[in-house]
Amino acid sequence: MKIQRLCFSCDLKDNPRLIEEYKQYHAKGNAWPEITKSIKDGGIIDLQIYLTGNRMFMIMDVDDTFDPIKKARLDVANPKVQEWEELMWKYQKALPWAKDGEKWVPMEQVFQLV
């Protein structure tokens, strides 16, 4: 099985209270089980989000079953995922260079040690 790493970025609204609420939703064991199931069912074997200030970085390790177009279609058809995404927009904001409707912007790898 081939593993691929994908990285994305998104901003949070620059509000300390909202940032803390967002972190609580993502604290260990707090993410909705339907969301973590959807992630795993989509071929994502690990997903991590890091935060500095109000800028977030998401690192996804995916297996060869991952298809971003298929995952997006499944997410649109899943009411619980849509509820979660709507809730998260209370905290998130698009990067200034994001395309219309784009939340998590793919990052370009510019260096790798090994």
CATH of the domain at 14: 3.30.70.1090
Residue 41 inside a domain? The answer is: yes
In tens digits, the chain (114 residues) has pLDDT values of 899 999 999 999 999 999 999 999 999 999 999 999 999 999 999 999 999 999 999 999 999 999 999 999 999 999 999 999 999 999 999 999 999 989 999 999 999 999
Domain count for the chain, please give it.
Answer: 1
Other residues' Cβ atoms within 10 Å of the Cβ of residue 56: 21
Q: What is the domain range of residue 50?
A: 4-93
Q: Which 3-state string (H, E, C) describes the chain?
A: CCCEEEEEEEEECCCHHHHHHHHHHHCCCCCCHHHHHHHHHCCEEEEEEEEECCEEEEEEEECCCCCHHHHHHHHHHCHHHHHHHHHHCCCEECCCCCCCCCCCEECCCCCCCC
